[in-house]
Amino acid sequence: MSGHSKWKTIKNAKAATDKKRGALFTKLIREITVAAKQGGGDPDGNPRLRTAIDNARAQSLPKENIERAVKKGTGELESVDYVDVVYEAYGPGGVAIMVQALTDNPTRTVAEVRAKLSRGGGNLGTTNSVSFMFDRKGQIFIEAAGLDEDATMEQALEAGAEDFVREDDAFVISTAPADLHAVSQSLMKSGLKVSQAELSWIPKSTVAVTGEPASQLLKLIEALEDLDDVQKVDANFEMDESEMAGA
């Protein structure tokens, strides 16, 4: 199974604990704040903010938290100054890893990422050392239960999607980065429930990983995702579903 989306499905199923949800809420709030700071506090005129708010609502982030995050971004409330950073790395089994973070201290964040990689059997790469193995795409996740696959695919393509696949209980829709917001909004207006919409690094090809390297890789990815500053981790691995589920 493809690492960049299948692992997300399994990981989300594990994220029901209060600790995990608290960390998720923190990441959602940070994204809303940065989006509002960069593009203004009106979601109708700020696609990144609109998508961030939609994702937050899909994860049941309270309305007052969303409003406060927007105000921090627009300067109405005091806020930390975050910046976008991307780290490129290799993990166990020769897997390429892209780490997206929002941080107020890049020096601290790169040290934390490097430490996790070192302990987890990976190493930090230089700029462009692995990014050429990925395409930058928008990804939209829709719960498949009760939906006709052919009809949903037709809706997605009519909305401007580039690709449509089913992975277990979800439809995964790919878009050009600039089209993510418009396609997501079109699908929601047509009555479909979008569980998440995000920009991802999609691997052009994948590396098969099994056995101990597979277990080590998944532990490393989870350790990276647990860092406060890290928003998202993408990797180009292919793995048996039973090994993912057992991680």
Q: 3-state secondary structure string, 69-95?
A: HHHHHHCCCCCCCCEEEEEEEECHHHC
Task: Give the pLDDT confidence score for residue 167 in this predicted structure.
Answer: 85
Indicate if the pLDDT at residue 174 is higher than 90. Answer: yes
CATH of 3-74, one of 1.10.10.200, 3.40.50.11540, 3.50.50.60, 3.40.50.10190: 1.10.10.200
Query: At which residue do the structure tokens 């899909």 appear?
Result: 58
Query: Stretch 94-120: mean pLDDT, rounded?
Result: 97
Considering the domain 135-203 in this protein, what is its CATH number? 3.30.70.980
Query: Stretch 169-175: mean pLDDT, rounded?
Result: 93
pTM of the model: 0.88
Tell me if 131 sits within 8 A of 201, measured CB to CB.
Answer: yes
Angle ∠(202,184,128) on CA atoms, nearest 5? 25
Residues with Cβ < 8 Å from 169, sequence gap 6 or more? 9, 143, 144, 145
CA distance 97 to 82: 22
Q: Which fold has domain 83-132+204-236?
A: Alpha-Beta Plaits (3.30.70)
pLDDT band at 13 (very low <50, low <70, confident <90, very high): low
